[in-house]
Amino acid sequence: MSAGPSRLALFWAEYSENKIAVLALVVVVVMILLALFAALISPQNPYDLANLSLRDSRRPPGFVGSGGYTHILGTDPQGRDLLSAIFYGLRISIQIGLAAGFVSLSIGTTLGILAAYLGGRVETLIMRLVDLQLSFPAILLALVIVALLGQGKAQLIGALVAAQYAYFARTAYGAAKAERGKDYIEAALATPLSARLVLWRHMLPNCTPPLIVVATVQIANSISLEATLSFLGLGLPVTEPSLGMLISNGFPYMMSGRYWISVYPGVALIILIVAINIVGDQVRDQFNPRLRK
């Protein structure tokens, strides 16, 4: 642990060599800040129905509404200020992405390491299940689970977790299995250290780098999957629209040229997802010794 700061500094030095990755990281941080302080910076609270007026609905960018201020990005079919709706939508998207990511990470890692550590029948059972699930498209699984559990934040997160924990399990299993075979783990197990200590001190740290990479990618995937489900009308309730729901709401109006209702929330979503993926790519390249020259 004492080597922590210097290793982090080295990591950052290498990371900052890639200007695009730095830009992507800045974008991610800015978007998280926007989401955190959505309530402070938004011209309007888009969830407060009392604020909304149907007279203001579907207005183009730059329109000055009944609230007396300019709707920079226009308004949606419910008369919400789009800029505010995007800030709040970002908050929901990021919340769901992070929550689903961390729950999948915990469940998947636990299962993966347990399978690698215990071996035998438990290993076979867990990994067969994981492989079966990995061969099944995540979107379909999420779709069915949302259909079965009904709509709502918890259900949505549950569906995303069910669709994604398997990636973490596979990654953790692979890394832990490789470590398990090494002599030092055998040696540690032979000492009177408790098994839990071995797992915690030795196997988990060695799984961390690949798991961080998978986590970044999966958080982006969660956000994307949530948006997709919302777009299909199977996501969150309409009263608190995420980015996907905003896009979905605007879709019917696109044919008549009212592009902004779908396009601006979409642009926000794409920037967020692409930025996270670029960060993830860079981190993966840095963790992958084979790509180093």
Partner 1 sequence: MLGFIIQRFIQAVGVMAVMSVIVFFGVYAIGNPIDIVIPPDATQEIRLEAIRRLGLDRPLYEQYFTFLANLLQGDLGRSFVYNMPVLELIGGRLPATLELVLISVISATVLGVSLGIYAGYRPDSWVSKTIMAVSVLGFSVPSFWVGLILILFFAVHLGWLPAGGRGDTVMIWGVAWSFPTLNGLSHIALPAVNLALFKLAMMIRLARAGTREIMLTDTIKFARAAGLSEATILRRHLLKLISIPIITVFGLELGSTLAFAVVTETIFSWPGVGKLIIDSIAVLDRPVMVAYLILVAFLFVTINFVIDLVFALIDPRVRDGASA
- Name every residue whose Cβ is closer than 8 Å to that of residue 169 and which is 6 or more positions away in sequence: 107, 108, 109, 111, 112, 115, 126, 127, 130
**Distance from chain centroid for Cα 49:** 29
Compute the distance between CA of residue 189 and CA of residue 209 in angstroms, rounded to an integer.
23
Nearer to partner 1, 37 or 251 (CB): 251
Shortest Å, Cβ 132 to partner 1: 8
Shortest Å, Cβ 232 to partner 1: 6
Nearer to partner 1, 50 or 291 (CB): 291
Nearer to partner 1, 69 or 251 (CB): 251
Shortest Å, Cβ 139 to partner 1: 6
Nearer to partner 1, 42 or 262 (CB): 262
Shortest Å, Cβ 30 to partner 1: 18
Q: What is the DSSP letter of 43?
A: S
**Tokens in use for 214?**
């998978």
Nearest-10 Cα torsion for 173, 179, 181, 185? -120
Across 183-204, b (16+ Cβ under 10 Å) vs e yields eebeebeeeeeeeeebbeebbb
Shortest Å, Cβ 149 to partner 1: 7
Chain residues that interact with partner 1, rule: CB under 8 A: 135-137, 139-140, 143-144, 146-149, 220, 224, 227-228, 231-234, 244, 247, 251, 254-255, 257, 259, 262-263, 266, 269-270, 273-274, 277-278, 281
